[in-house]
Amino acid sequence: MYSARKNIGLSLQRTTAQLNVWAPKAKTVECELLKTDRKLPLTLGKYGYWTLDTDLLQDGDTYHLLIDGQALPDPASKSQPEGVHGPSAAVDLHYDWTDHEFVPPARKDLLIYELHVGTFSESHDFQGVIARLPHLLDLGINTIEIMPIAQFPGERNWGYDGVFLFAVQHSYGGAKGLQALVDACHAVGIAVILDVVYNHFGPEGNYLPKFGPYLTDKYSTPWGKAVNFDDAYSYGVRDFVLDNVRMWFEDFHIDGLRMDAVHAIKDFSATHILQEIRQLTNAIDKRTGKVHYLFVECDLNDRRYLEPLDKNGFAMSGQWLDEFHHALRVAVGEAKKGYYAEFNGIADLAKAYESAYVFNGNFSTHRKNFFGSSAEGIDGQRFVVFSQNHDQVGNRMLGERSAVLFPPAVQRLMAFAVLLSPFTPMLFMGEEWGSKTPFQYFVSHGEDTLIEAVRQGRKQEFADFHTDGDPPDPQAVSTFDASVLDWKAIETEAGQQFFQYYRALLVLRKTLLSSYGWNRANLTVEVDEDAETITLLVVDKKAKISCILNFSASANAIKINGGKYTMLFNSDDEKWGGSGKTDEFVQEEIQVAGFSGIVLAHNEL
């Protein structure tokens, strides 16, 4: 029986190098060493794999692969120092790790912070992230999620146009820079999740079809042909992806992957590629003694992605829950346009708290069909929720953040709704100080036709959301520059109030989880659509906890039954920039300010 190979591409081992190249239809494959102009022939083995063992390739040496005489970069290149069209470079992935004692947080304890390496700091690289780790520690998060870093064209890109899955973006610091970042994160107790893209390859610099049928005509995606996971020769493509997963976990000590838009992965094999990724990850977990997470972005509301392997599920660790975001945004006043149009605000947000999926078999006007499955019985921590992320900010025409769209009270309420949810919360970089820096869509392609196609595509994308004006030019350097975080803003009074607010909410969340059984299984949700309030209740043997969220612009008087309550938190407290003070005790009735949330504990059970 065929089994997946390991170490595809070039791997350096002390004084020797081993090269494995999958080119099932090639007649000849050679490695051209650019420093000597020497050409080394590879030997054809089983299943279209060509191999070479040599002591002539050393760390840093550049090379081409010659496929029937045509010079191409290595599809599994570990480095592209001259960009996606240049030669590949040999990289020794050995690293003197210091993280042997590091254990990533348990899934229920994950507090995720999404960032884009290029715009997170003024240096636009991994060192810039390392320099800001004290800030992240002070905030209280324990996990960062890095947007894709696979080599893409130029130096400005969100990362979803990557074409060399094994090569770490050279302008960010390359392989050694990423290893240094992960080691630095682990040294201070922060886990690292990496965003990876297995549903398509970028349009510029994609030389994979020159080597083999990496793409298939059987299916299409919004970005062109689908990746070949189940057509003829798909075993080589699956090997390619599986070895990429192995590399991130073993050679870079990455703690988890977030796989982009897995609904666009088309695979009718008996064993889905996601199931193989789970099987491989389980084997790595067993070998290393450490847990590695697999999160997915998926818009199918299909519980099979979370079901265990023995139920023929894909056994993913968790998934992004966009519907929570959509319902939350409409609840605070987002215009009901585009995919927001079918969300009913507070009613759907209450359903999301209770059922995770808003569409769990009911009719979707956006899809014009009955849609979704039940998430009953699935732990809340397996759903990742947010009020902002790279998509929801960057896919607005102007890339406006919540701080530009909503007043401070609403921003605080949205953070309250996310961080005190029974799900796994995620923040988007800069959110914690109310950053007003936009996060716009940017690229640095080198082909004029492609650049114009991207510009036109952005205009068409906003047809349902905007009617006036054009989006910022994705190719312009100014679009990228405008998206770089302004760290000076955190030093302002407003910035510090937001930062202290987020930090306090994170501390409260940890307390609720550790001391009061705050989870989806124990949660009761009450909604008053007329008053525009949602109450989340958890009754634990230690206390009864009530989180009351007021989505009305006006204050609401909430009846309190059953004795005296302790006020644990008030999002409208003046120390956060609100209008009032937090009462220590509450009896009979409490006024909940407009667009605010409070947390009460009843200890007399």
Calculate the alpha carbon distances from 430 to 139, 497, 577 in Å: 11, 13, 18
- Given this model, what pLDDT does residue 559 score? 86
Per residue in 298-355, pLDDT tens? 999 999 999 999 999 999 999 999 999 999 999 999 999 888 999 998 999 999 999 9
Tokens of 237: 């493509």
Other CB atoms within a 10 A radius of the CB of residue 29 amount to 24
Name the average pLDDT for the chain. Answer: 94
* Closest C-alpha among 192, 306, 332, 202 to residue 252: 192
Which residue is associated with the tokens 């929801």? 392
Contact 77, 64 (CB under 8 A): no
For 128, residues 6+ apart whose C-beta sits below 8 A from its C-beta are: 117, 120, 121, 122
Strands 424-428, 533-539: pairing is unpaired
- Given this model, what pLDDT does residue 458 score? 85
User: By mean pLDDT, which of 34-48, 52-66, 461-475, 588-602 is the weakest?
Assistant: 461-475
What is the H or E stretch that residue 273 is in?
A: helix 273-288
For residue 62, list its beta bridge partners.
Answer: 89
- Given this model, what pLDDT does residue 359 score? 97
For 250, phi then psi, to 5°, come to: -90, -45
Contact 214, 237 (CB under 8 A): yes
Mean pLDDT of all residues in 273-301: 97
Per the model's pLDDT, the better-predicted residue between 376 and 563 turns out to be 376
- Given this model, what pLDDT does residue 377 score? 95
Mean pLDDT of all residues in 440-446: 95
Out of 230, 260, 299, 334, the active site residue is: 260
- Given this model, what pLDDT does residue 226 score? 94
User: By mean pLDDT, which of 46-50, 136-140, 459-463, 524-528 is the weakest?
Assistant: 459-463
CA distance 461 to 459: 5
Delimit the domains of the chain by residue range: 9-89, 519-602
Per residue in 25-54, pLDDT tens? 999 999 999 999 999 999 999 999 999 999
CA distance 543 to 534: 20
Contact 235, 229 (CB under 8 A): no
Q: Is 297 a known active-site residue?
A: yes
Q: What is the pLDDT confidence band of residue 505, given thresholds at 50, 70 and 90?
A: very high
Q: What is the pLDDT confidence band of residue 4, given thresholds at 50, 70 and 90?
A: low
Per residue in 352-372, pLDDT tens? 999 999 999 999 999 999 999
Strands 150-151, 112-115: pairing is unpaired
* Distance spanning both ends of the chain, measured CA to CA: 61
Domain 519-602 sits in CATH at: 2.60.40.1180
Per the model's pLDDT, the better-predicted residue between 515 and 209 turns out to be 209
| Residue 468 in this model has a pLDDT that exceeds 90 | no
Contact 316, 265 (CB under 8 A): no
- Given this model, what pLDDT does residue 1 score? 45
- Given this model, what pLDDT does residue 274 score? 98
Per residue in 190-243, pLDDT tens? 999 999 999 999 999 999 999 999 999 999 898 888 999 999 999 999 999 999
Q: Give the DSSP per-residue string, 585-602.
A: EE-SEEEEPTTEEEEEEE
- Given this model, what pLDDT does residue 190 score? 98
Per residue in 553-564, pLDDT tens? 999 998 887 678
Contact 200, 214 (CB under 8 A): no
Sign of CA dihedral 485, 486, 491, 495: negative
Contact 83, 356 (CB under 8 A): no
Mean pLDDT of all residues in 177-197: 98
Q: What is the pLDDT confidence band of residue 402, given thresholds at 50, 70 and 90?
A: very high
* Closest C-alpha among 279, 163, 166, 271 to residue 227: 163
* Closest C-alpha among 17, 167, 188 to residue 88: 167
For 39, phi then psi, to 5°, come to: -115, 125
| Residue 2 in this model has a pLDDT that exceeds 60 | no
- Given this model, what pLDDT does residue 605 score? 47
Contact 56, 190 (CB under 8 A): no
- Given this model, what pLDDT does residue 604 score? 60
CA distance 263 to 276: 16
- What is the architecture of the domain spanning 9-89? Sandwich (2.60)
Mean pLDDT of all residues in 73-79: 98
Out of 230, 267, 297, 299, the active site residue is: 297
Q: Is 376 a known active-site residue?
A: no
Mean pLDDT of all residues in 249-263: 98
Per residue in 84-122, pLDDT tens? 999 999 999 999 999 999 999 999 999 999 999 999 999
Mean pLDDT of all residues in 166-187: 98
Per the model's pLDDT, the better-predicted residue between 466 and 236 turns out to be 236
